[in-house]
Amino acid sequence: MSIYQRIAELEKTGEAAVLCTVVDARGSTPRHEGTKMLVYADGSFIGTVGGGEIENQVKQEAREALKDRKTRLLKYTLVDPKRGDVGICGGQMEVYVEPIIPKMTLVVIGAGHVGRQVVFLAHWLGYRVIVVDDRPEFATPESMPDADEYITADMADLPDKITINEFTSIVATTRGGDVDIAGLGPLLDTDAGYIGVIGSRRRWEFTKKGLIAKGVDPEKFKRVHSPIGLELQAETPEEIAVSIIAEVMMAANRGTGKSMKKD
């Protein structure tokens, strides 16, 4: 499978990767202009930009680019390793490093009134939306018409059914703390960029006690946003959905949630 086919697959799987392209090669270099390498978040890769130390450095920069989501233009001289060059071929290379960030995936667990509005709003914003419910009649296009995928499963089984990475936001709009206690533990071990659980502070305290009784490390609770959403004094399902999506966006875009008004 070619690099271009692998890039096309990223949109389907929701994975991230970094495309590294030789954009300038002068003199004697291991690879010519246009040569490409695709580096995944776990460090695996396909293609090559020359092997050896230059490739090791490009891969390291690629993984850093996934963290800060910024492009890089890397310049290398291949003359004298004693002065820090990456090779002895005699030429110069420039490599353009471009993070390929997937469309945000929003997983909505619980297809009730609030969940339905969260799905509607996320779809309108262009997210890839997955609806999950353990009740088959709820995880359907008829019940939730705006999702891209429907999964009938227990919450605890979700990590085995979909790819969950830092570009995945999980919103649990479930019907009770007992459901959260039964299924939240495995989600806390994923790389999800955001995990939010609906309910009052009292419900979240109840859920935490239940999870601790099941052996879940309380340190993992720091990952959870509960009560979910930003404080907007929201009441209706529609208003609560706005509050939730606002917090999801804030986490994904590394915002502060502060007013942009200037004094």
Which residue range forms the structural domain that includes residue 52?
A: 3-100
Q: How far apart are CA 77 and CA 90, in angstroms?
A: 8
Look up tokens 């009292």; give the residue.
202
Rg (alpha carbons) of the chain, rounded to whole number:
23
Residue type, 139: A
Residue 164 within any structural domain of the chain: yes
Would you call 85 helix, strand, or coil by DSSP? coil
- Taking the alpha carbons of 72, 16, 129, 168 in that order, is the dihedral positive or negative? negative
- CATH number of the structural domain spanning residue 138: 3.40.50.720
Terminus-to-terminus CA distance in the chain, angstroms?
56
Q: Which of 100, 118, 133 is at the close of a domain? A: 100
List the pLDDT tens digit at each of the 263 positions of the chain.
789 999 988 877 778 999 999 998 877 777 788 899 999 988 899 998 877 778 888 999 999 998 888 999 988 876 555 554 455 566 788 899 999 988 899 999 998 899 999 999 999 999 999 999 999 898 999 988 899 999 999 999 999 999 898 899 999 999 999 999 999 999 999 999 999 999 999 999 999 999 999 999 999 999 999 999 999 999 999 999 999 999 999 999 888 888 888 76
Query: Whats the size of the chain, residue-wise?
Result: 263
Q: Are residues 187 and 72 in the same domain?
A: no
Q: Are 94 and 33 in contact (CB under 8 A)?
A: no
Residue 179 within any structural domain of the chain: yes
Q: Which tokens sit at 147? A: 């999702």
Structurally, how many domains does the chain consist of? 2
Q: Are residues 82 and 206 in the same domain?
A: no
Q: Are residues 91 and 127 in the same domain?
A: no
Q: How many CB atoms lie within 10 A of CB 65?
A: 20
Position 84 scores a pLDDT of: 43
Which residues, including other chains, have CB under 8 Å from residue 261's CB and lie 6 or more apart?
none
Position 90 scores a pLDDT of: 60
CA-based nearest residue to 245, from 132, 129, 91: 129
pTM of the predicted structure, to 2 decimals: 0.82
Residue 262 within any structural domain of the chain: no
